[in-house]
Amino acid sequence: MAKCAICEKSISHGNEVSIARSHVSGRSPRTWKPNLRRVKAIVNGETKRIYVCSKCLRSGKVNRA
């Protein structure tokens, strides 16, 4: 399953609501996936490849190798 190694952000589920119809009809299930990147990072003193979301990369929570 897709999950960030730092913040553990994963897939979230919900309904896709059609804006062209009334509030009663036009709902179908959908998923939102996190924006993950596979990066080389220093984890416990050694270099590993981990999946990290782009928000953690931008905020500097990851020490890249």
What is the domain partition of the chain in residue ranges? 12-59
pTM of the model: 0.76
Look at residues 48, 35, 47, 43 and name the one whose alpha carbon lies nearest to residue 61: 43
Residue 22 pLDDT greater than 80, yes or no: no
Between CA 41 and CA 20 the distance in angstroms is 45
CB-based contact 30:19 (threshold 8 Å): no
CB-based contact 52:65 (threshold 8 Å): no
Look at residues 54, 50, 32 and name the one whose alpha carbon lies nearest to residue 41: 50
CB-based contact 1:51 (threshold 8 Å): no
Residue 2 pLDDT greater than 80, yes or no: yes
Residue 23 pLDDT greater than 80, yes or no: no
Q: Residue 45: pLDDT band by 50, 70, 90 thresholds?
A: very high
Q: Which of 3-7, 16-20, 35-39 has the lowest mean pLDDT?
A: 16-20
